[in-house]
Structure 1
């Protein structure tokens, strides 16, 4: 019997950019046969993450390369470090340049000991950046090696 693969996308978004990335990831996963749940961080109890095959955590980067407090609270609420985490996020190079760009993504990848590099998107994933999202998620699904993918 074929097992249904399940994924959850937990994300934090103020401007909508990270939410747009989450939606693109969701569409790609569903096209690949996954059952996908979405959880907007800060709205309701944290779901039981142990029931999912893949966990996607998304955040924006705040205040000169910082991780938003809500994302830190989410990590505390989860209470453990799952092994099957993939991190994505949005950022803006005009606030600190490349050194601080999507610093929250880098911190979460390190915190969760991810075996796959995080996805970093400059502001909105629209246009040519949609291809970057697709390439990243294809790599995640293939469990291949990754390099940080940027435009």
Structure 2
């Protein structure tokens, strides 16, 4: 059985909701899922799963969640070869070029760690709506399909 660990950072609750949707989608696909808030996440526990997911917000002009900086730094320094990852996040299009840049930063960190992307990044404007839930379902399907090939 495939396992997944979903880590989220949220200020408004939107990214916790995104993480919950991803967890539900993965569970429906037969994956055993663990979910953690980013400040409580341990990189050693995180890397035990087959599928690794981060759902995090971007605030102000491209700033990453302060409570997630230690996890981000640890992620960049961890060997995740053989792991499948995905990154999703809710942000606010009001910030223009800075919209959801944390998603890009975590995507780069996973690449640096040697993990394999299992699905295209998902960027959601504010709270997830029906079309976003459908995108997150496809995201989860991609993660599982890629992990099943490894």
Same fold per TM (> 0.5)? yes
| 1:147 aligned partner | none
| 2:107 aligned partner | 109
| 1:92 aligned partner | 92
| 1:65 aligned partner | 62
Q: What is the SS of the residue equivalent to 1:52?
A: coil
Q: What is the SS of the residue equivalent to 1:24?
A: helix
In the aligned structure 2, how far is the partner of 1:39 from the partner of 1:59? 12
In the aligned structure 2, how far is the partner of 1:93 from the partner of 1:28? 25
Per-residue deviation, 1:50: 3.0
Q: What is the SS of the residue equivalent to 1:62?
A: coil
| Equivalent residue in structure 2 for 1:6, among 3, 21, 42 | 3
Deviations 1:29-75 (A, max 9, x none): 11111110111111365552232101111100112122222222112
Q: Flag the structure with higher helix content.
A: 2
TM-score (norm 2): 0.81
Q: What is the number of equivalent residue pairs in this alignment?
A: 139
In the aligned structure 1, how far is the partner of 2:22 from the partner of 2:102? 19
Q: Specify every segment of 5 or more residues in structure 2 that has no aligned partner in the other structure, as ranges.
A: none
Establish whether residue 31 from structure 1 lines up as the match of residue 28 from structure 2.
yes
Greater RCO, CA 8 A, separation 6+: 2
Per-residue deviation, 1:127: 2.8
Establish whether residue 139 from structure 1 lines up as the match of residue 142 from structure 2.
yes
Q: Specify every segment of 5 or more residues in structure 1 that has no aligned partner in the other structure, as ranges.
A: 145-151
